[in-house]
Amino acid sequence: MYCPLAESCFKAPLTSLKDLSEGSHTFTACRTPNASFVHGERVLSPRSHKLLSGSDLPQSWFWGNVKGRNFLTANRNQHIPQYCGACWAFAITSMLADRLNIQHNRTFPERLLSPQVLINCHGGGTCHGGNPYAVYEYLAAKGLPDETCQNYEATDGQCLPFGTCENCFPSDGPELQGKRPSKCQAVLNYSRYGVSEYGLLMSGPATDKNGIQVSKVQMLKAEIFKRGPIACGMHVTEAFAAYTGGIYSEDFPIIMPNHEISVVGYGIEDGTEYWIGRNSWGTAWGEDGFFRMAMHGDNLGIEDFCSWGIPTIHQANKTLEAGSSPYHSKGSYTVDSRVKAGTYQRADTPGVVRHTAPIPTAQPSPPPVVLQGIHSLPASYDIRDLHGVNYATMDRNQHIPQYCGSCWAHATTTALADRLNLLSGGRHFPEIDFSVQVLVDCVPMAPDGEHGCEGNDPTLAYAHMVKHGLVHETCSNYQALDKECSAMNLCKSCSWEGCWPLANFTTYHVEAHGRVQGEEAMMAEIAARGPIAAGICVTEEFEAYSGGIFRDETNCTTEMHDVELAGWGEEAGIKYWIIRNSWGTYWGENGWARVVRGQGSLGMELRGDWAVPLMPPAARLPDALQDRTSGLAAYNLHASLPLQSILEQ
């Protein structure tokens, strides 16, 4: 019987998916029902329930809210830009990314593993479905790069030479079907993520540390509590696909797992215990992409087909070795001698193109340098480590799957996402990552002008957000294409039958924005309200940068590229800026760089853009903890406090 838990349960609509999708679209299986390990489990350490007793387990536990901190990584959507039955890849990579975050106590960086590589290289299946257990075996044998090596295209691609890790750069020729002319090359030196152990939850001895028999539910709870989220197969019905919130329950007569999700916690409401699941259908679905499923009773088989893995990291090798190493010292920094001019940026294809006409800004309050003064600025500031907390959201790569000059959209959105994370004290759930693609599509240089892959004005990006807002990445994921600005491309979902625009999704807004220049003014703005976007010159040496404190010797200040300016520091007497680039984590210091500060290096201090985000509506998942302080009111409150108090919040 469907939903027997009365008022605490989600009520199914009379019609199935028609109400949700405004069309006749049915769920298609994406998981092999009889999935199994080819070479068996790899279990080297005691299972979690063997290390605990029943009394050790808390009544509720949610990795999105552990003492006010969210340990869950970014949400995903397997169904865009077109349908792809890749749940088997998303559930495992999402679960392992969350576990990496937990293993490293949510310190920098946030790592998103690439499901597209699993599809390209047949690491478990294709867009027509797959075996989630085969993913563990692929990772153990070959490892997997992060998302900035190979972003999600929702298509069955080729594994080699570019289907694992690539970089694309501009070339000559006309634009075809929204694609800038570009060439791609394989990247060989990148970090890989693997697994040291993996197994099924329902195998092995079913006793706790005291030898007492434990139930299936206790085994699942113990693994989630002790080591992090798990991946589970389930039987999705059309009623579940139409879920919008609440505690779901459905007793289906024949359980055949046709979908894979991750379970990220458990809770209780009015006496009803439930699992907290993360889906891969975007934040417009369910409770911001999550769902609650009634515990016990084998609802859609969610407790019967669960697995776990322990992730590992194999860092890229950038060691300076005499003779054989391509990494060479340039004094305070190192370069990769294999990187040539034009690998990431060409002078004749700038990513920042300022408007000749002035763009109105919205600045209803005095700048922070006036509010708090320059003398209270700390000696160092790093959005990745403010009193031990990482507020930096996910890293990006603007240059894949083909070249696109969208740095102006990447720098502004990552700075804004980090500000929103900082504004909530890192407590906002779920993580908000803005859609760069919508800015590329909907912010032309001028009426009937070029679209965003040809470059644009960062100030215009924030002006657009003030007027129109911006959607989540799972509404419109980055494709590095110039597409039409339409309802379909704003927020959509897809099935094998085609795509359709969604009507119900969250739009995020900016309350104020403006420009800032000069070392001290930029530092004050960052200290008070968080990272900014900054325009810079790109030199051949900067393209080849691989670590250390970069010092430009060319005196170039021509604005070509936009980066996120996320902090500052000093080392061995050298003052530096901390920047986040959008060229992938294989560039620089894990996608970031340090650049000499106060000497006009790359024109870093000449052009900055900032914006103040409004706090979005409260999360639909009641287990999430929210800080509802919002916008300029919060920043003005902060400005009246000592800077140390700001950072400690």
Q: Domains of the chain, with CATH numbers?
A: 6-84+197-314 (3.90.70.10), 328-354+365-614+627-648 (3.90.70.10)
pLDDT, position 446? 57
Give the type of residue at 34: N
More confident residue, 646 or 73: 73
Angle at 102 between CA 194 and CA 526, to 5 degrees: 110
Q: Is the pLDDT of residue 101 over 60?
A: yes
pLDDT, position 579? 99
Token representation of residue 25:
């679209």
Q: Is the pLDDT of residue 11 over 60?
A: no
pLDDT, position 448? 53
pTM over 0.75: yes
For residues 262-273, give the mean pLDDT: 97
pLDDT, position 24? 39
Q: Is the pLDDT of residue 29 over 50?
A: yes
Give the type of residue at 631: G
pLDDT band at 601 (very low <50, low <70, confident <90, very high): very high
Active site positions, annotated: 87, 259, 279
Token representation of residue 458:
């960062």
For residues 215-233, give the mean pLDDT: 98
Segment 604-637, tens digit of pLDDT: 999 999 999 998 888 888 877 554 444 554 544 3
Q: Is the pLDDT of residue 535 over 70?
A: yes
Phi and psi, residue 362, nearest 5°: -125, 105
pLDDT, position 371? 54
Q: Which of 229, 244, 287 is nearest to 72 (CA)?
A: 229
**Residue 318 burial by CB count (10 A; 0-12/13-18/19+): exposed, middle or buried?**
middle
CA gap 291, 193 in Å, rounded: 28
* Percent of the chain scoring above 90 in pLDDT: 76
For residues 471-488, give the mean pLDDT: 97
Segment 553-597, tens digit of pLDDT: 999 999 999 999 999 999 999 999 999 999 999 999 999 999 999
Q: Is the pLDDT of residue 644 over 50?
A: no
Segment 434-458, tens digit of pLDDT: 999 999 999 987 555 667 899 999 9
Segment 333-344, tens digit of pLDDT: 999 999 999 999
For residues 141-166, give the mean pLDDT: 95
Flag the least confident range among 26-40, 290-304, 577-591, 634-648: 634-648
Q: Is the pLDDT of residue 50 over 60?
A: yes
In 10 A of CB 511, how many CB atoms? 18
For residues 378-399, give the mean pLDDT: 96
Radius of gyration (C-alpha) of the chain in whole angstroms: 24
